[in-house]
Structure formats: structure tokens, C-alpha cells
Amino acid sequence: MSQLDHFERLKFYREELKYEYGLLSNRLGVFVTSQSFLVSAFAGLSASIRYPATVWMIGSVAMLGITISILIRIPIKLSHVSLKKWLALERKLLTADSELAETVFGEGEAPCFYDDTEAGQSMHFSNEAPTVFIVLWDVLILGTILRVAQQDYQWSQF
């Protein structure tokens, strides 16, 4: 293959990576936005916890938050798999063609071993965000249960 073919292939890989990062970013943005709305609804409902019907609505909001957190893990994982595939193809191309690597990185700065570990580290938040929200919802549910139990205890003393 000629140098131009390698450059066109690298350009294609980079476009695919840009697309996959954008897709992951959109998924994560929608997820965090939905969680913020649910946390706001949870907080608003928690302010009026003295009404029995509110407790069921609070539980429903929390279960919806947990469900969304569990369901979003699959699309995020699929994005990670796709990104790793494109990064591996890019790494293979740049390590195989030192002239292309020098063209991309500049004279004397071309790495002898193309390292894309930072790309994997940048995806760490998207990988851990659903788990963080699941833990948050568990803590909020536990706090609500303790609050309701304390109120029932206080009301039963009268």
C-alpha cells in the first residue's frame, strides 16, 4: 500500500473514532440529564414525606433512576467495545507505518510505540457513572426508609 492509502485509512479511523466518541458523549449526556431530573423530583417529593402517598411516588422515582442506570450500561459498554476496536486498528496502522507516524506526530516526535492508554482512561467516567448513580439511589432509598420509620415511631408515641 502507498503512503496515501495509509493516510486515507488513518483519516477514516479517526472519523470513526470521532463518531463513536460523540455517540458515547450523547448517551452519557442523556443519562446524566435524566438522573438530574429524577434526583430533583426525588428531593421535591422528599420534602412532603409526611403524606403516605408520597412515599410510593418517592419509591417509584428511585426505582426509575436505578432502572435507567442499569439499562444504560449496555449501550455504554457497546460504545467502549467499538472505540477499542477503532483504537486498535489505528494503533496497528501507526506502528506498522513509521513514516505515517512521523507525519502525524512530527519529525523526531513520532513514538516508537503508539500508546493510546489515555484514550481508555478518558472513558473511565462513562464506565463508572451508572454505578455511582445506582449507589446514590440506594443511599437515598435507605435514607427515606429510615426517615419514614422514624416518623412512624414519633407518631406512634402520641
Q: Where are the domains of the chain?
A: 3-156
| Res. 142: pLDDT tops 90 | yes
**Tens of pLDDT along 54-90?**
888 999 999 999 999 999 999 999 999 999 999 899 8
Given its phi and psi angles, is residue 124 left (phi above 0), alpha (psi -120 to 50 degrees) or beta?
alpha
The predicted pLDDT at position 34 comes to 97
Q: Measure the CA–CA gap between 59 and 42, rounded to whole angstroms.
A: 9
3-state secondary structure of 48: coil
130 or 109, greater pLDDT: 130
Residue 34: is it exposed, middle or buried by C-beta count within 10 angstroms (0-12/13-18/19+)?
middle
51 or 136, greater pLDDT: 136
Task: Supply the pTM of this predicted model.
Answer: 0.80
3-state secondary structure of 58: helix
Q: Measure the CA–CA gap between 33 and 11, rounded to whole angstroms.
A: 33
The predicted pLDDT at position 51 comes to 77
- Going by pLDDT thresholds of 50, 70 and 90, the confidence category of residue 158 is very low
3-state secondary structure of 112: coil
The average pLDDT across 109-131 equals 73
